[in-house]
Amino acid sequence: MKPSAQPGVVYLVGAGPGDAGLLTLRALHLLQTADIILPDDLVSDEVLGLASPSALIIPVGKRCGQPRITQAGIHALMLEHTRAGRSVVRLKSGDPLVFGRAGEEIAALSEAAIPFEIVPGITSAFAAAARLKTPLTDRSSASKLIFATAHHAAPQPDRPAKLELTPKWEGAFPKDATLIVYMPGRHFRALADELIASGIAPATPCVAVSKATAPDERVHITTLGALDDEAVGPAPVLLLIGDAIQPI
Amino acid sequence: MKPSAQPGVVYLVGAGPGDAGLLTLRALHLLQTADIILPDDLVSDEVLGLASPSALIIPVGKRCGQPRITQAGIHALMLEHTRAGRSVVRLKSGDPLVFGRAGEEIAALSEAAIPFEIVPGITSAFAAAARLKTPLTDRSSASKLIFATAHHAAPQPDRPAKLELTPKWEGAFPKDATLIVYMPGRHFRALADELIASGIAPATPCVAVSKATAPDERVHITTLGALDDEAVGPAPVLLLIGDAIQPI
């Protein structure tokens, strides 16, 4: 077993999708021995409940109407507490190195010469697929797995609000891939139309998972051609698209 | 906490990359309560060492000169033991739904009406990136993350042995993606040439990780243009390719 959280060290830890059973042993050990915990908004109460009672938990989420904490503010907190000799767990939902601005935090820690360790986490796509009991790859139909994000482009005078992959997928989409879209926004129909225009067949299975692994998780099973803005539950939402996606 | 392993149920469990600290809490609980454990070859001794001493461990790996167990043979073992009222953990390295033929095992269990649960695991790419302290995505340079596999095509009378993505990447490779190649075989130079021909710049960072998270892990940091067949350590090997890959 690796050591407990050490004074002056930052641990960039993946909290997984929410279900505390999907936390890693290393993550649990660090949560139980760290002085300071800096969780994102999406980290579940169930996971935070496993932290040491003596740990100081400072939420650093940037949404939901809380006072906004800037990325620089998060860096300042990590530096302040490690320089005071405390151990710090920076807790990110899912895996810390996937769609999580980890590069900026790594750069800040490196520049300040603060020692740090990174602990991977279960990304929500893997947890959602496990609950759906669907493979993500398939030897005959899906030899690639693509994670992408979408963003919501604000309406302009000459065009409505739209959603697209960031940036847009160039050229033909690979025929033998499963696509996972993280943070797909709310205009699912526009995104589906973009993907169909890139060559994904409208009949391709598409599953929208809202709040993966949470008690109020919602699953909407459809096809890309029939994906409907209204039928999907609240954020965070994940889209799983591809012929390999075959929920039981 | 979810229940212990139940009689007559199969648990398709991700063992992670090898480091037992990267096992999930749910996976540990199932290993400690299951009657039968069916591990792949790549599952580490460190992980198997956490199983209940009373569990019967039946290796079902298909390599390394062991008597070959067919996929059908694995299905038969799962059915035999669950029908005898035992709990069965089918333990796969990494995540069970990524490049693991899970679809065939899911189909066999469904057809036989055997109840089953799937527990996700840390895939080796996430563990390797954590050890390298490199992000896998980046807001400015890598908005997509692509997992692919390569296979070794045997030499033919009219051409040498070659390695290519399975199937080959069609058209231009996306400019803003990080590519992870699982099971890249041994002809790295040929694979790199194929990717360069698809549009990835030769100067793109490329890291080959052999035996990710194992005590004898080896890391080879290079560029796609300079990737060398000889410099990479023994299997399993993982290639991480992209501008976001910046090991510290």
B148 near B179, Cβ under 8 Å? yes
A123 min Cα distance to partner chain B (Å): 8
Domain at B88, CATH number: 3.40.1010.10
Residue A161's pLDDT is what? Answer: 44
**Beta-carbon separation of B176 and A167 below 8 A:** yes
Interface test with chain B among A1, A106, A118, A132, by most B beta carbons within 10 Å: A118
Nearest by Cα to B11 from B21, B28, B19: B28
Q: Are residues B76 and B166 in the same domain?
A: no
pLDDT at B38 over 90: yes
A133 and A168 share a domain?
yes
Indicate the residue among A122, A157, A190 that finishes a domain: A122
Is residue B18 located within the same domain as residue B118? yes
Beta carbons of B170 and A166 less than 8 Å apart: no
Nearest-CA neighbor of A40 among A68, A60, A64?
A60
For residue B25, the chain A residue with the least C-alpha distance is A21
Q: What is the mean pLDDT of residues B188-198?
A: 89
In a domain, residue A5? The reply is no
Nearest to A248 among B23, B110, B120 (CB): B110
Based on the fold, state whether residues B113 and B139 are members of the same structural domain: no
B92 an active-site residue? no
Same domain, B104 and B178: no
Residue B5 domain-assigned (yes or no): no
Residue B27 has pLDDT above 80, yes or no: yes
Q: Both A25 and A118 in a single domain?
A: yes
Lowest pLDDT segment from A92-96, A136-140, B117-121: A136-140
pLDDT surpasses 70 at B166: no
Domain contains A3: no
Pick among A9, A10, A24 to test the B interface (most B CBs inside 10 A): A24
Distance from the A25 Cα atom to the nearest Cα atom in chain B, whole angstroms: 5
Asked if residue B247 is part of any domain, the answer here is no
CA angle centred on B239, ends B236 and B165, rounded to 5°: 95
Query: Are both B65 and B148 inside the same structural domain?
Result: no
Residue B112 within a domain: yes
The shortest CB-CB distance from A167 to any of B1, B120, B143 is to B143
Q: Which residues of B touch A149 (CB under 8 A)?
A: 143
pLDDT of residue B76: 97
Residue with tokens 């990359």: B17
Please identify, among A122, A139, A159, the residue that sits at the C-terminal boundary of a domain.
A122
Residue B60, domain extent = 10-122
Whether cis (ω within 30° of 0) applies to the bond prior to B167 is yes
Last residue of a domain, one of B64, B96, B122: B122
Beta carbons within 8 Å of B45's beta carbon, 6+ residues apart:
none
CA distances from A200 to A119, A242, B203 (A): 35, 8, 32
Looking at the fold, whether A142 and A105 belong to one and the same domain comes out as no
Judged on CB neighbours under 10 Å (0-12, 13-18, 19+), B43 is: buried
Q: Establish how many alpha carbons lie within 13 A of residue A147's alpha carbon, considering only the half-sphere containing its beta carbon.
A: 22
Query: Under an 8 A CB cutoff, do A148 and B144 touch?
Result: yes
Active site amino acids of A: 40, 62
| Rounded Cα distance, B43 and A6, in Å | 30
The first and second tokens of residue A122, run together, are: 């279960």
**B203-221: average pLDDT:** 95
Residue A39 lies in a domain: yes
Record: contact A176-B169, CB cut-off 8 A: no
If we measure between CA atoms, which residue out of B163, B15, B233, B211 comes closest to residue A24?
A: B15
Considering the domain architecture, whether residues A118 and A129 belong to the same structural domain is answered as no
Asked if residue A147 is part of any domain, the answer here is yes
DSSP state of B173: P
Residues A52 and A115 in one domain: yes
Task: Select from A13, A63, A62 the least CA-distant residue to A36.
Answer: A13
The domain tally of chain B equals 2
Q: According to the model, what pLDDT value does residue B44 have? A: 95
* A71-83 and A102-111 helices, crossing angle to 10°: 40
What mean pLDDT, rounded, does chain B reach?
A: 90
Q: DSSP for B4-54?
A: PPPTT-EEEEE-BSS-GGGSBHHHHHHHHH-SEEEE-TTS-HHHHTTS-TT
- Residues of chain B in contact with residue A166, where contact means CB-CB under 8 angstroms, are 143
What is residue B160's predicted lDDT score, i.e. its pLDDT? Answer: 45
Catalytic pick from B19, B35, B40, B193? B40
Residue with tokens 């042993």: A25
Across the interface, do B167 and A176 touch by the CB < 8 Å criterion? yes
> Which pLDDT score is estimated for A160?
46
Distance of CA B235 to CAs B46, B101, B208, B209, B212, Å? 18, 19, 11, 9, 10
* B24–A22 C-beta distance less than 8 A: yes
Q: CATH number, domain at A204? A: 3.30.950.10
| Residues A92, A100 contacting (CB under 8 angstroms) | yes
A25/B26 touch (CB, cutoff 8 Å), yes or no: no
The verdict on B43 and B56 lying in the same domain is yes
**In which band, very low, low, confident or very high, does the pLDDT at B186 lie, cut at 50, 70 and 90?**
confident
Per CB-CB distance under 8 Å, the chain A contacts of B28 are 25
Q: Which residues of A touch B174 (CB under 8 A)?
A: 169-170
Residue in A2, A119, A143 closest to B130 by CB? A119
pLDDT by residue (tens digit) across B62-74?
665 556 789 999 9
Using one digit for the tens of pLDDT, what is the confidence trace for B3-21? Answer: 899 999 999 999 999 999 9
- Mean pLDDT on A215-240: 93
Tell whether A190 is covered by a domain: yes
| pLDDT of A154 over the 80 cut | no
Q: Are residues A129 and A230 in the same domain?
A: yes
Is the Cβ pair A97, B148 closer than 8 Å? no
